[in-house]
A and B are shown apart, each in its own frame.
Chain A
Amino acid sequence: MEFISENLLTLLILLPVFGAIGLIAHQMFWKQEDHLKWVTLGITLLIFVLSLLLLNSGTASSAGFFFEKNVPWISAINTNYHVGVDGLSLWLVILTTFIMPIAILSTWHAVEKKPLGFYVFLLLLQSAMIGVFVSLDLLVFYLFFEASLVPMFFLIGIWGGANRIYAAVKFFIFTAIGSLLMLVAIISLYFLHAKATGVGTFDYVTLLGTISNGGLPFEPITGTLLFLAFALAFAIKVPLFPFHTWLPDAHTEAPTAGSVILAAVLLKMGTYGLMRFCFTLFPDQSRELAPIFIVLAIVGIIYGALVAMVQPDVKRLVAYSSVAHMGFVILGMFSFTEWGMQGALFTMLAHGVSTGALFLLVGFIYERRHTREISEFGGLANVMPIYATVFVITAMSSVGLPFLNGFVGEFMIMLGMWTSSALAVTATVNWNYIATMAAGTGVIFAAVYLLWMIQRVFFGKVTNEKNRGLSDLSPREIGLMVPLLFLMVYMGVYPRPFLDRSREAVVQIQERVIKQAGGTIDRADSMQPIAVEK
């Protein structure tokens, strides 16, 4: 037990890898392909249960990280295997371990070719994703960040739809370009640190310390370039408008499990990276360039929603809705308020649950009909009432209906943007208000595109004879939707456990960004109403 809690994060990273090796060994000796999914499911469930131990966190290290582990790796370049979680990464790790068994259950009958490779890649992907969220060494982070790309590339490229090669290559090119720039920035940081202090380091905590002591002053242009190199890598991953065009293709072509993981976890690596690395390493640059990100986020919200509205393919529609939702996350983060940043983190989780669920639901219907064209459907509520009910609830959560999880996050993001000082406040116009009002229209459009799709797919008479004999959800399918539905309601009605645990970490980052502005901390509790004298 002691061993487990000492090495919990390492276990979480390595268990999927061991699982993958085990799968290969199993296949070599027994050659029972239908065992594979059971074994994989068992492994991922075990990992999920283990990851829940993270909630039982002990005392934090000096930098505020729990379950920290710091051992030298390649001492020649002073890079360490340094991992740890805090309030920012905690829920993202659990989201990852939670969504994996569900994703695997969703593939029960869907994988026809090469199941061994499929499950091995899924497990390797999980290992990489957990690694991304817990790494505290930039080089290790980078390796995991890149490593997550490869399994996904193959998942799309081998088990994807008709146009899978194009989508896989596009996905790869987009994200690889961004992350290569990030690698350059990471190495530059190493040498800059070496120049300033005599010791080069990739260690995040060390870098933070040096930067806040003023030990690592950047030339303005260097700082901006480094920030942009990081930010671009993450912005592509999010994806932020206009780097989003890989997403609809990747989502549409990926197998259901791939889409679910892509939406639920992979996109969050971008927003997580922005908050973890860009904000804390480059607080001044983050603040200065915030208006650009805010504008792009708002464009993304409206653009994503408008384009989602006219998609003929359900999966593509959900993909574009992701662009809009992630725009909200970026908006909240760059408001640099506690509300906005907490809301952003909460929306990451909520989006993971509800958009993941939407992709699962799209997968269910695809398995039955082998099409996702909206025009092929109509009147499904008559033949698949349970499916329709679940779909409508999930869509409502995505639309941001209060008491479902989407609302809490979006509300806090907008509140954060409204009260932000990231944009200019002139005598006549408060641009933060304008930004919030513009972003708020996204809430209207979300209702338009989802309800319009629901109307065309589910309501009306059954027009297509092929849909008449469709079977409703099986117990397995219901079983894997139930935990997601439960979370949608629970997070919407009682969000405090999630918000309370992430507060400290988020506020730390927020203060770091704001403090550099000249001492004053724009904490929420300092926000007093403006009393007008009579």
Chain B
Amino acid sequence: MIENNLLSIIIFAPLAGALINWLIGGRLRNEMFSGLVACGSIAISTVVAFYLAFFAHGGALFIKEPILDHIWTWINVGGFRADFALGMDPLSGIYACFITFVGLLIHIFATGYMKGDSGFYRFFAYLNLFMFAMLTLVLADNYLLMFVGWEGVGLCSYLLIGYYVKKNEAREAAKKAFVMNRIGDWGVLMGMFLIFTLTGSISFFDKTVDGEQVTSVFSFVLANMQAEPFTWGAIVAGGLTSVGVLMFIGATGKSAQIPLLTWLPDAMAGPTPVSALIHAATMVTAGVYLVVRSNAIYQLSPTAMWIIAVIGAATAIFAATIAIAQNDIKKVLAYSTVSQLGFMFLAAGVGAFVVAIFHVMTHAFFKALLFLGSGSVIHGMHHEQDMRKMGNLRKYMPITFITMFMGWLAIAGIPIWAGFFSKDEILYKTFAADKYFQNGYFPGNEILWVVAVITAILTAIYMTRMMVMTFWGTERYHDALPGEAHHNDLHAIDDDHAADHALHNDDDDEHHHALPHDFKPHESPWVMTVPLIILAFLSTVGGLIGIPYAMSSLPVVSSIVGKEANHFDRVLGPVVAEVDTPAAIKARENAKAHSPEAITTERWLAVLSVVLAAIGIAIGWFVFRISPLRKMPRILEEKWRLDEFYNGYIVDPLTRLSTVTLWKGFDLGFIDGIVNGIGSFVVALSSGVRRIQGGFVRSYAAFIIAGAVLVLGYFVYFGARLIG
């Protein structure tokens, strides 16, 4: 067992930063101080995380055993043990590295973006608190501590979405996010109870604590449990499949999958760095982490995996169709995130756990880039988010344009950019699910593949539309939107500081300002562009650490990177449990064999997907370059009216039931009716003796005491007589 106390620094540095900013930063109100504390604490975490992941004890990513750190025993009651203890294995190592690094860049970006905001210190306190919770989530060494982080990120997300407290949509969105997450949390809790009753443990790693041997959930499952049948009945049988489904309910909440997806787009009401950090790069991928972390359980529950794959694919295409019709630049990216998360779950569902994490990482790079880029655009446009009022920004914001261009290529799936390798792997693994799925048989994988391919085309189209509307075309900064002619005038009256966006009025809200007539967008300061450049670099080359064998074995490629270029797979491979069912063994052999047919198929599919991506970009370019304001189908613009459906069929009836039936009907009507009935009966009865009810407190007291003495005396007297 390798122990290293440095591990706790990774989580406690941001916590300390949060506390310092909250307690001292609030007094000082000095942006330099708050920014330095916030970024400094994350920088410490980043350095320690990379040191432990790559160097200490040979590097957590490269050694067989996890690095552990027991901090204190949290709950230990009657055989149930939950430690506050951390562990870093390749999975949590990768997560910790990209969370701290991307987090650091976003913190730096935010010091520029939030400049002049009166809640500056509060914003960074929350942001640091979020980092604490997120790192606790991924570094926790048991389900319960993971759940602490899981709820913690939910809370921080609530606080940060609602950061602009005066914005109505912000507070609505904050509540909605928290509640939808909570619905998912219910699943995680129940799953945790079930896994504990099945295995007697909630720990992720085998370890010795206080002289006590703790067996991990997964060792127990691998040693003692069998694969479950592929039936609907397995879901409610109370075995591993039930665990898998319950945990996945949690994942749908946190990672915004069908049916709990509507909170994420609304969450865009928060500041843009928050959208980049929480709602794109880190928190929303926690669901994928949970599934991959529990892969030993999932490999034995084919039904649960199949459900994950189907929900993932369905979410991917559903969100992509909505993204294509949104006009708010952040909404496009939000739906795009939901769609990409669907891809990750599709990968996990077909058993390609490593690929799912690969896509989590590349997505963290290019989606953080795109969000920060959009933040830079919004900053330059004086908080205008509607793409219909943008256009030709590449002239004014060249760095933002070029960096976002890289992100565009990455997400669309153009070779060598990061998104290409991860997405292509997902498509291939889905297509060939029968071969690599740990349970041998995967019904409907071809359909899922078609869905995924269509989604990939849609992705290229909506991203192109976004780029075209923002960076090309005519400058529409002063155009009134259809039906919103008065909108601007109202704002102009509202807002005394329209001319100077750095000087927010006392509202400290991110509402956009009416633009002066000589308005020209401007490029953002270096604290914002440098993180963009770094992320653009990572989005461009970050995928090269995971080049699949089918491509690295091409003579041209292997001469540069070598034949075994999938470093990512090599590092994360051990995370996937080696289940010893015949089907799983076969699947592993298939994956190692690299048969010529498989390689050929994978290469042709890669060619196909590049062609399709190019077609998507071409469609997007030709359609929206000509008419950027083309009206999109209304049903898509209104997000398939899912919110209306939820409100009409769940929220409103429940509120009505609570008010009319339960409260006014049962409580006030029925129970109190009985009580009051008895009451008025007694009153009527006692109206004869009204004279003694003088209404004086003293006489009430006297009566009560006298009554008590009488009752007591009676019992003392008769009781004594009875015993005699």
Which A residues lie at the B interface, using CB under 8 A? 74, 76-78, 117, 143, 146, 150, 154, 157-158, 169-170, 173-174, 187, 190-191, 194, 200, 242, 245-246, 248, 303, 306-307, 309-311, 337-339, 342, 379, 381-382, 396, 401-403, 407-408, 411-412, 414-415, 418-419, 430, 433, 436-437, 440-441, 443-444, 447-448, 451-452, 455, 458-461, 493-496, 499, 503, 523-525, 527-532, 534
Contact = CB atoms under 8 A, between A and B. Distances in A.
B704 A150 contact: yes
Given A157-B697, A200-B719, A451-B158, 17 more contacts: A77-B720, A154-B700, A158-B697, A173-B679, A187-B715, A245-B672, A337-B78, A342-B77, A403-B148, A403-B152, A411-B144, A430-B238, A452-B175, A455-B162, A459-B166, A460-B171, A499-B77
Contacts of A493: 74
A174 B672 CA distance: 11
Contacts of A242: 666, 671
B723 A77 contact: yes
B632 interface: no
B207 interface: no
Interface in B160-174: 162, 165-166, 168, 170-172, 174
Contacts of A245: 667-668, 671-672, 675
B216 to A, nearest CB: 12
24 contacts: A77-B715, A77-B716, A170-B675, A173-B675, A173-B679, A245-B675, A307-B662, A309-B655, A309-B658, A310-B659, A338-B77, A339-B77, A382-B165, A403-B148, A407-B151, A437-B186, A440-B189, A444-B186, A459-B165, A524-B77, A524-B78, A529-B198, A531-B224, A532-B224
Nearest to B196: A415
B662 to A, nearest CB: 5
Contacts of A310: 655, 658-659, 663
B654 interface: yes
Contacts of B168: 460
A407 B145 CA distance: 12
B165 A458 contact: yes
A158 B697 CA distance: 8
B611 interface: no
Highest count of chain B CB atoms <10 Å: which of A174, A342, A381, A459: A459
A3 B186 CA distance: 52
B190 A437 contact: yes
B647 to A, nearest CB: 14
A496 B75 CA distance: 7
Interface in B643-675: 654-655, 657-659, 662-663, 666-668, 671-672, 675
B415 interface: no
Contacts of B595: none
A524 B189 contact: no
B21 to A, nearest CB: 14
Interface of B: 72-80, 144, 147-148, 151-152, 155, 158, 162, 165-166, 168, 170-172, 174-175, 178-179, 182-183, 185-186, 189-190, 193-194, 196-201, 220, 224-226, 238, 507, 654-655, 657-659, 662-663, 666-668, 671-672, 675, 678-679, 697, 700-701, 704, 708, 712, 715-716, 719-720, 722-723
B197 A529 contact: yes
Minimum-distance CB pairs A-B, first 5: A524-B78, A529-B200, A338-B78, A459-B171, A402-B148
B72 to A, nearest CB: 7
Contacts of A78: 723
Contacts of B720: 76-77
A306 B654 contact: yes
Nearest to B237: A428
A407 B148 CA distance: 10
A429 to B, nearest CB: 9
Contact of A306 (B77, B657, B708): B657
Contacts of A412: 75, 77, 80
A414 B189 contact: yes
Contacts of B200: 527-529
A76 B720 CA distance: 6
Given A309-B655, A381-B165, A436-B190, A532 B78 contact: no
A425 to B, nearest CB: 10
A460 B663 CA distance: 28
Contact of A402 (B152, B171, B224): B152
Contacts of A460: 165-166, 168, 171
A232 B80 CA distance: 33
A170 B667 CA distance: 14
B708 A419 contact: no
Highest count of chain A CB atoms <10 Å: which of B183, B194, B226, B658: B658
Nearest to B507: A461
A154 B197 CA distance: 50
Nearest to B186: A440
B78 A523 contact: yes
A307 B667 contact: yes
Highest count of chain B CB atoms <10 Å: which of A157, A174, A415, A436: A415
A447 B179 contact: yes
B333 to A, nearest CB: 25
B186 A306 contact: no
Contacts of A337: 78
B193 A418 contact: yes
Nearest to B174: A455
A402 B79 contact: no
B719 A190 contact: yes
Contact of A339 (B80, B151, B182): B80
Nearest to A174: B675
A534 B655 CA distance: 50
Contact of B80 (A154, A444, A458, A524): A524
B233 to A, nearest CB: 10
B193 A415 contact: yes
A154 B675 contact: no
Contacts of A529: 197-201, 220, 224
Contact of B151 (A246, A342, A401, A527): A401
Given A443-B189, A451-B175, A303 B662 contact: yes
A493 B196 CA distance: 21
A191 B715 CA distance: 12
A495 B186 contact: no
A307 B661 CA distance: 10
Nearest to B176: A451
Nearest to A157: B697
Nearest to A531: B224
B130 to A, nearest CB: 14
Highest count of chain B CB atoms <10 Å: which of A311, A382, A448: A448
Given A158-B697, A459-B171, A494 B72 contact: yes
A119 B227 CA distance: 67
Contacts of A173: 675, 678-679
A174 B663 CA distance: 19
Nearest to B172: A455
Contacts of B162: 455, 459
Given A339-B78, A441-B186, A146 B697 contact: no
A286 B683 CA distance: 37
B698 to A, nearest CB: 10
A74 B716 contact: yes
Contact of B190 (A309, A381, A440): A440
Contacts of B654: 306
Contacts of A401: 151-152, 155
B238 A495 contact: no
Contacts of B78: 337-339, 342, 523-525
Nearest to A302: B662
B182 A443 contact: yes
A418 B196 CA distance: 10
A337 B197 CA distance: 13
Nearest to B651: A448
A154 B701 contact: yes
Given A401-B155, A402-B147, A530 B75 contact: no
Nearest to A526: B79
A455 B171 contact: yes
